[in-house]
Amino acid sequence: MGKFVIVDHPLVQNKIAMLRKTETGSKEFRELASEVAMLVCYEATRDIPLHQVEIETPVTTTKANMITDKKFSIAPVIRAGIGMVDGILRLMPTAKVAHIGLYRDPETLLPVEYFSKFPSDICEREVFVIDPMLATGGTAVAAIQLLKDKGVKHIKFLCLLSCPEGVKYLTEQHPDVDIYTAAHDEKLNDHGYIVPGLGDAGDRLFGTK
């Protein structure tokens, strides 16, 4: 069974409270989403293996721990996932970005792929699927399946807010995928919104309504 990690550091909780507030405008919302994404990513990368290498400081030669053989990709689910890209790239500037576009077919209600663009070596990379809201889990499950179908072996899912329904569905469908979130909310409402939540993450990031 994959890990389920709530990154409940006081600074993260404070930023999540500001993200939730209705009066937080798009500029501040984008900055906060980016900062929280970076802090969630900080936890999600805690297990990266290190290797001892010899380096030279201005004073002496010494052994230091470095990440030498691990490659990452981040896979934002369009559109709201884009709001987490900058913060994560600040932490992992060499990660490649794999965009995933999915929409829900109004008749079958199943997620359909309309766009995807992946780095050519994605199968050799650990991939972090990023989407701010883990609500029903339908999109997350489909995005992860798409990556697995391409041969990706190591996947983590990073979000800003989750709820029990989404975590349950994602864990059932992809028990090998660890989930990292900044807050775990109470429930989903009848419109598929997380409660108390923060509203529509895409609209709040990009100023659309």
Interface residues with ligand URA (CB under 6 A) are 80, 133, 135, 192-194, 197, 200-202
Closer by beta carbon to ligand URA, 113 or else 200: 200
Render the chain in DSSP notation, one character per residue: ---EEE---HHHHHHHHHHH-TT--HHHHHHHHHHHHHHHHHHHTTT---EEEEEE-SS-EEEEEE--S--EEEEEEETGGGGGHHHHHHH-TT-EE-EEEEEE-TTT--EEEEEEE--TTGGGSEEEEE-SEESSSHHHHHHHHHHHHTT--EEEEE-SEE-HHHHHHHHHH-TT-EEEESEE-SEE-TTS-EES--S-HHHHHHT--
Closer by beta carbon to ligand URA, 31 or else 200: 200
* Beta carbon of residue 131, minimum distance to ligand URA (angstroms, whole number): 8
Closer by beta carbon to ligand URA, 74 or else 161: 161
* Beta carbon of residue 55, minimum distance to ligand URA (angstroms, whole number): 44
* Beta carbon of residue 195, minimum distance to ligand URA (angstroms, whole number): 8
* Beta carbon of residue 162, minimum distance to ligand URA (angstroms, whole number): 10
Closer by beta carbon to ligand URA, 68 or else 189: 189
